Amino acid sequence: MPGTPIVNGTSYVTVEAYSDASFQKAAEFYAKFLELDSTKKSDTETVLFNKLVTVRIVLVEDAARQQAADQQLAALEALTDTQDWRAHFNQSLVFKTTSIVNLQHSLNKLHIPHQVYPSTLLPMELYTVDPLGNVVGVTSTKNSVSSKPTDRNLSSEATAVATALQTGAKTSREPSRVHSMTDLSYRVGTTDSHPSLPKQMTPAKANKAIAVMTSGGDAQGMNSNVRAIVRTALFKGCKAFVVMEGYEGLVRGGPEYIKEFSWEDVRGWNAEGGTNIGTARCLEFRQREGRLLGALHLIEAGVDALIVCGGDGSLTGADLFRSEWPSLIQELQETGKITQEQHTRYKHLNICGTVGSIDNDMSTTDATIGAYSALDRICQAIDYVEATANSHSRAFVVEVMGRNCGWLALLAGIATSADYIFIPEKPASDGDWQKQMCDIVAKHRARGKRTTIVIVAEGAISADLTPISPSDVHKVLVDKLGLDTRITTLGHVQRGGTAVAYDRILATLQGVEAVNAVLESDADTPSPLIAVNENKITRKPLVESVRLTKSVADAIKAKDFKKAMALRDTEFIEHLNNFMAINSADHVAPKLPRDQRLKIAIVSVGPPAGGINSAVYSMATYCMSQGHKPYAIYNGFSGLARHESVRSLTWKEMIGWQSKGGSEIGTNRVTPNEADIGMIAYYFQKYQFDGLVIVGGFEAFESLHQLETARESYPAFRIPMVLIPATLSNNVPGTEYSLGSDTALNALMKYCDVVKQSAASTRGRTFVVDCQGGNSGYLATCAAICVGAQASYVPEEGISLDQLQEDIASLAESFEKSQGRTGFGKLILKTTNASKALSADKLASIITAEAQGKFDAKPAVPGHVQQGGLPSPIDRTRATRFAIKAVDFIGKQQAIIAGVRAADFQFDANDKAVEATASVLGVKSSHIRFTPIRQLYDNETEISKRMPKIIHWRETREIADHLVGRKRVD
């Protein structure tokens, strides 16, 4: 019988070779690919193994079968670069790994053909072919992606393993010997004590002391960053220090300013705004004498590495400090302030930067800590201001931060449908901006808009570098348009409050990676900056990142605005073009000639989600600017089939939709087949739609599949169709992000912050919070990181009694050690479908009973609060981006689809080009991809579970557990 399965039942497998040459090649392949040790039992049998997997290779001489194997191997190799292997086989061996990237590099070096999914930038599955013609895969997901092996090559033992999987065999959590950069568990083990602190590392690492400081302007999320750095350092057996009051604390020194922190010192910091360790400007540190004092004080405290969270100025100072370090400690030794032993011990200072800046102005990273929180404050303020503006038909000029970067003003302009924005990267001449602004505002007013919102970045300028102030804009609106105008300067409100979910997660993951970086750096390693690129935490050269950032300001000063825009990332430029397109709507002449203008319908399917209205508004206004005619299908497919609920959209009726929650065009879960697909086809034909945009979750995914499948019978569906995923569950295959998931995550996070405060006040209390998400644990996992939940239970793992017992024991120990301290509330998050037997109420009852009076547990059910509320800025701006991409996709597909729309056309449902005209718009590594619905439905979806096979967020669960000291039971 097989041993404990790893993934898809593969733990012990026998493969057959049919020639001596292939036998030898197979042994070499598996030894290198899976890092297995080899034991040769005889000339016809080799066993390769590690503690997790055993591969047995048996030689069975058979020339005919060898020829068949060679042909299969050649056929698959020929398809490597042209076709998806998964469409040509349904059997494979699949093993578990925590990092596919290392295996991918190994195969590249060995020149072995392979394919990765969903992309080479973010591989979650990797397939290659062994010398015997077998398809062999590795995956970092828990989902089953292979069926039982064939009898041609594999033994009955392997077949038994695969069969056990299909009947629900338990999978192991143990990783392979190849490890992920951000996986904390492989670096050190854990002891039996709580919290989950490590055994000693190697002597070279065990005595490391890592300090963290925050500097420059404060930003929401800095506390999460400090918390992650402190706890990760402790987890790895290092000492953790914090430097109070930024560089001033370095200069002043002593235990008052350079403090050693324990695990509990950062408890609850995720939910606190600002920076608890302080930040201050320090003129002394700009001088060498100040840096000399800073070096002395770090050595006195015994610090080996320094992590700085701040903006470009703070990080520039950090790198200068490191570059001067050898001369600083040499001077300290020569003056007798440190000993020769100290000079040798602290010969090198490793420095790493994480970017805390609300302006999002750092080059080489897609987002900075605090930027989205500041954007949230701005959008919330403008939503409030617009309500009073509407009451009095007023104009408001809103000044936002952004000295040399207009990111906040631009994104806020999109998220709130502002009439005009001023950003430093794209100024107009003094006369032009006045004329342009007045022209747009006048057109909006003439079409019935009662409010006017103009957003001014604090660094706004005209083309001659003359500053444009809110007062200047106010004067123009009053004098030239006669509008009752007010000025609102948000100021430091933008820095205030707690961090949004995105910033808490970003700061946490960057903190973990920062500790990894300083521990892996040596004297020759350039100071790294921890960035986020393509939704992945990466390391960038700190000096180069700061240089590029400063070059934007230099380009603006030189009036080279084209260069300034080029130095911004491509998404910034895309956002600017999107804002201008949707802002013009039907107020100007259409861009497209009459013969290219289309009728495009939009429908919402599934439960409501934040961002649906933003997508509808953006799709319709962009259609108008291009010359297309937008139609809304109200109340989903059932509304169309029963009531012919089709209406063309006008700009005036959609005013304010960008910032509204829910769905103004209505939504339900009814699919076309359920509503009457024949009647739907009739109305599609009647209105002569040229394209369809579906916004929704898994029901929308199924709806697109049904429409694509029905094309052969109904020519009306032979039009480009695209799905914009929108569901809080974030369970739509083909994308890593769905509209509404960020809004729901923020709603759940705020709810958890409140109940955690209640738990802390009551003392000795735990809340079991029931999270929505269907069969997806995305919300519970991400919320666990955001709020520091003690445990999270998700459907992908279920709730084992052993793990539950361990979690209850850990809670008891934690409360016992709290000794009545404040802020000691605990949370356990549970996705509703994590267990059918254990509801939140029953789980709370079990925990209370098992606690034996030491503490108690109460259920907390936020319910549909997670679906409601105003959409977050992330959901609003991404909805705009998705909608415009969807409309462009429909336009580009017209040439392909034109010839197959006739009823008498011999329709080929398997034509790849036609198949691609019905696609899911997905975000994969921050890039937008269109994937044919048929490929996703057939190859990448667990239909019965309503889930994708690839779980892109699973790795973050381990980090969430380690940062709260949770012990996992395998």
**Active site (catalytic) residues:** 359
**284 backbone dihedrals φ, ψ, rounded to 5°:** -60, -35
- CA–CA distance, 433 with 413 (Å, rounded to integer): 16
Structure-token match 């005595």, residue found: 207
Annotated binding site: 217, 281-282, 311-314, 357-359, 394, 401-403, 458, 486, 492-495, 669, 727-731, 765, 772-774, 858, 864-867, 946
- CA–CA distance, 616 with 649 (Å, rounded to integer): 9
Residues in the chain: 970
Q: Which of 219, 218, 184 is nearest to 201 (CA)?
A: 184
Structure-token match 């069975």, residue found: 60
| CA dihedral sign of residues 188, 192, 197, 199 | negative
- By the 8 A CB rule, do 483 and 444 touch? no
Written as six digits, the tokens of 765 are 């209390």
Annotated binding site for ATP: 217, 281-282, 311-314
- By the 8 A CB rule, do 529 and 315 touch? yes
- CA–CA distance, 131 with 166 (Å, rounded to integer): 27
What sections of 714-865 are H helices per DSSP? 741-762, 778-787, 801-818, 840-851
**87 backbone dihedrals φ, ψ, rounded to 5°:** -80, -10
Annotated binding site for substrate: 357-359, 394, 401-403, 458, 486, 492-495
CA 270 to chain centre: 18
Q: Give the H or E element holding residue 565.
A: helix 561-567
How far CA 9 is from CA of 153, 262, 434, 493, in Å, comes to 17, 42, 68, 54
- CA–CA distance, 663 with 726 (Å, rounded to integer): 11
Q: Determine the angle formed by the axes of helices 570-584 and 612-626, rounding to 10 degrees.
A: 70
Annotated binding site for beta-D-fructose 2,6-bisphosphate: 669, 727-731, 765, 772-774, 858, 864-867, 946
Please report the DSSP string for 370-414 in residue order: THHHHHHHHHHHHHHHHHHHHHHT-EEEEEE--SS--HHHHHHHH
Residue type, 634: Y
Q: Which of 157, 410, 205, 436 is nearest to 305 (CA)?
A: 205
- By the 8 A CB rule, do 470 and 457 touch? no
Q: Give bridge partners of residue 47 from the DSSP assignment.
A: 39, 56
- CA–CA distance, 461 with 468 (Å, rounded to integer): 5
CB atoms within 10 A of CB 687: 18
- CA–CA distance, 257 with 266 (Å, rounded to integer): 16
